[in-house]
Structure 1
């Protein structure tokens, strides 16, 4: 009779915590008991482990077995502990040597035949194991590529318990090392090319400004004008994610179960475009016990596109307001609170009226048009920096030579240059893009703009046509426009362009 221990990982959102799993086999009435706040799926592992061990040629110990999951005050959820508990039990029963279990984490669900089955959230689990000092992780083959995305940890992928038992007894080879898919040097942005969009010079400029400063965007225009095409091409204007950002995004997709065997780092900014019937839970995340990520977290470091925005539930739209400000979403459920990252670039698109007809065909009353537009609440619209009217494409523009239109790659170069200028300006500060700079910073030295530059914008503020938040957002926009123009600080023309995007009323850019 003996005591043995090994390690698993529990997840709360994308935050992993190392769990030490102890198994004790002692004299007493035969049975298996758990301690450490296991949920129902952990308790059900009793039958999965018994069948898996017996079908792998190992006798179930006819003794009292106690399994402790430590720390005991943290909830343990899911079947992700099956393999770790089985290995601790085997070592405690003397079936395998306990030494190889030290500093090893086991992450897999067990089938009744002993096969290792893939689980969600392996990437953040391996990251947590690494932080906890674990040097080796054993996973199911279906999770091999995903687990191997983490550097500095030996990842081995096994087929079943029989393979692992033979290895630990010295009767077989160790499971093969897992290898990650190679990262492409120039990943395909997907979503089509901006050169596909005919005309829409003003909307394309707005798209460029939004991409350069991570500013939220609102397109209003008749059906068929190109709003959706423009929005879908926005991710192609954004720079590829660096490794830290890619790991963060990939971890969210891992928890959502979107990686598995074809796992590779998400290097391109993701695009999420939920249908307008999406619920609050579908947008921000939800589920019983511990919530899963929603569309806003799957769009982290990328683009969330809401087409036909007024058709979304007002509750769903207003649920976006807090994440738009904080960049995270905190979801409270019965099993506790989970935090998911949610710093996304929001793009809204809408028709000007509920009938969706072209202007010369629309017979909606002014009140109906006003009610339709007011389905987007004032507090939500106040968080949108760039608002653009998208008019129907003219005949001449539609049939113009495609070769004369700028491609996504050409615009992306300017966007990257502007972002680099902003990153250099804010170096040493906790911000990287203009859209998140606090207004108090932009209104104070050394970034405060002279009065002659701010004159027109201050007039809008004094007349109540701009809120205090709107004023700060115009300032942020002006710095992005200046970065695209190569200016060291916003000029009156840069501020006028920013004010036009915010209010729709342009001052003379030549002033």
Structure 2
């Protein structure tokens, strides 16, 4: 009869249960691993034999068949090694383990029998808890990451023989007690908004974007501070909830980017891919689908500097994720769903030379329009705030006039986010104004008649879409929250209408 032990694999960013089945048969000594595993799994046969022999056990001189069930799902990774080794030792009667079904095994084996850390441990542990498997054995280097999940027993070891000694009761397990207080990554930002000079009026709109989670496009001449502002936006983002932090950490664990193993990522992500990024690197994909930049920016910022230099098809691929807050990667056997609720922050020059509206600009209207058309209408329609940034006056620089401090802006943003969290408490998938559904807009964005008349006038003049109309209301709601106002008044609508400068100008440009 075959021996069966529990392990896990990853689909998307979620773990799923894998049963490792091992049987030994009479025949020519060999190891066959079946169940649609990748090369790392196929190569486990060599690691398995060396690790078992170097741990002073006997490797069975029989035909060994290993099946990873369910067998119709592709699997990848080297973390099945430990489960295979334990199952083989049980099958060959070298160790005896009671209630093996209550355990799951995660870990890669070295040729000497050492346990090496793996990626994606966090979602595996979360799935284990969901399945009711309460005892998990992991490599020692993964214990901090695994211990992020509460109410489950984590056992961590350095070597295969330590695992076997624990399972047969030779040595009692000694818990690791020095984990408390080490689950957070400290704030890495040492820059501040007060370094930005001469852009105080524009920074107000940047703060509103951060407070409501609104997408923003900054346009201005080279050197006016667009990139400088974008890089400082993480310093004014509201802190993540524990649920949001766990979700971000889970994505980075699957992607193998969790640098401090076991540290909960409590700072909102900031991703800034280069403009030559491929569609797969931005959206996600590959043979074994992995999260792209938009998923790595989940609950944080995706900064696209020089957005007009990105491939147009790549930018258009952002349309659905920007609207849905998730991205679906379809494969023949499976569909992978990655969260992608990010705040798009982008920067561009107003024309090919960058000095549109100044005497030194010689770009024709046709060249300007062609340059701006690199951002399609549907993408522009999804960007809530579109602002021109003025050239900084030399007096602002020479007089050393400092901008507002990040600390002060963050305080206002935190107050606004606290209002939003209270408002949307219990509503799944909505945590800020930018995520409001039409039903929530009808409930929380009621206007006075004069405000409605103003919005209707602008709507008729510039022929905005229904999506843009809703975005105006979302942004106006954020302006009201920033001022701690319960109702949206006329001044909030005026400020919201001021957020579409670029789109308004393009609508009025005429090519001769």
TM-score normalised according to structure 1 size: 0.92
Determine the C-alpha separation between the residues in 2 that align with 1:191 and 1:327. 30
Confirm whether residue 342 of structure 1 aligns to residue 340 of structure 2.
yes
1:294 corresponds to which of 292, 295, 304: 292
Confirm whether residue 246 of structure 1 aligns to residue 245 of structure 2.
yes
Cα offset for 1:102?
Answer: 3.4
Determine the C-alpha separation between the residues in 2 that align with 1:293 and 1:282. 8
Q: Deviations over 1:101-142 (max 9, x none)?
A: 332211112222222222211111111112111222222233
Determine the C-alpha separation between the residues in 2 that align with 1:379 and 1:452. 30
Determine the C-alpha separation between the residues in 2 that align with 1:178 and 1:97. 29
* Cα 1:393–1:464 shift into 2, 3 Å: closer
Determine the C-alpha separation between the residues in 1 that align with 2:35 and 2:495. 59
- In structure 2, the partner of 1:193 is 192
Note the residue ranges of structure 2 that are not aligned, 5 or more in a row: 506-512
- In structure 2, the partner of 1:435 is 434
Q: How many residues align?
A: 502
Q: Deviations over 1:323-378 (max 9, x none)?
A: 00111111123553211111000001001122345844333333222211111111
- In structure 2, the partner of 1:509 is none
Cα offset for 1:305?
Answer: 0.3
Q: In terms of mean alpha carbon deviation, does 298-307 or 92-101 score higher?
A: 92-101
- In structure 1, the partner of 2:411 is 413
Q: Deviations over 1:180-219 (max 9, x none)?
A: 4625889426161111111201221011110111100000
Determine the C-alpha separation between the residues in 2 that align with 1:401 and 1:261. 39
- In structure 2, the partner of 1:56 is 55
- In structure 1, the partner of 2:510 is none
Q: In terms of mean alpha carbon deviation, does 9-18 or 102-111 score higher?
A: 102-111
Q: Is the 8 A contact 1:144 1:179 kept in 2?
A: no
- In structure 2, the partner of 1:393 is 392
- In structure 2, the partner of 1:21 is 20
Determine the C-alpha separation between the residues in 1 that align with 2:100 and 2:20. 11
Determine the C-alpha separation between the residues in 2 that align with 1:245 and 1:276. 28
- In structure 1, the partner of 2:206 is 207
SS in 1 for 2:299: coil
Q: Deviations over 1:253-274 (max 9, x none)?
A: 1111112554411101010001
Q: Deviations over 1:58-108 (max 9, x none)?
A: 211123333332334433222221111111111111111222633221111
SS in 2 for 1:8: strand
1:425 corresponds to which of 413, 423, 426: 423
- In structure 1, the partner of 2:509 is none
Q: How much is the aligned-residue C-alpha RMSD, in angstroms?
A: 2.4
Determine the C-alpha separation between the residues in 2 that align with 1:104 and 1:260. 27
TM-score normalised according to structure 2 size: 0.91
Determine the C-alpha separation between the residues in 2 that align with 1:143 and 1:185. 15
Determine the C-alpha separation between the residues in 1 that align with 2:86 and 2:409. 55
- In structure 2, the partner of 1:128 is 127
Confirm whether residue 227 of structure 1 aligns to residue 200 of structure 2.
no
Determine the C-alpha separation between the residues in 2 that align with 1:252 and 1:423. 23
